[in-house]
Amino acid sequence: MAKVPAAAVAAGGLIGGYGVARWTKKRQLGGVVLAAAGATATQQWRRQAGGKAAGALTVAYVAAFAGSHPLAKKVGAWPSVFGVAGAVALASWAVADRRA
């Protein structure tokens, strides 16, 4: 079975979490998706790049989630989510995925 890159897991968590929250109108359900993907990505980051890198990427993941809210007021919800997901995916690839 092919391994899914941590960059895709993290970006998918941000996009999927928002999508689930929006379409079900249950923010908690979106939070479950966001948290599950974040935990999975963190484990991959730790295996691929070590604890410090995993910690930094996890902080970036949470900051992207938090930062998407004010950004959405300027550019719209979906563009904001796609933007922060892309930024986290790029950081993940640069720090962890390209080593694997």
User: Per residue in 25-69, pLDDT tens?
Assistant: 999 999 999 999 999 999 999 999 999 999 999 999 999 999 999
pLDDT, average across residues 18-27: 97
pTM for the whole thing? 0.94
Largest CA distance in the chain: 41
CB 97 within 8 A of CB 5: yes
% of the chain beyond a pLDDT of 70: 97
Share of the chain above pLDDT 90, in %: 94
Q: Which residue matches tokens 């998407």?
A: 68
Phi, psi of 48 (to 5 degrees): -85, -35
| Mean pLDDT for all residues in the chain | 95
Half-sphere exposure of 17 (CA within 13 A, CB side): 25
Q: Are 44 and 9 in contact (CB under 8 A)?
A: yes
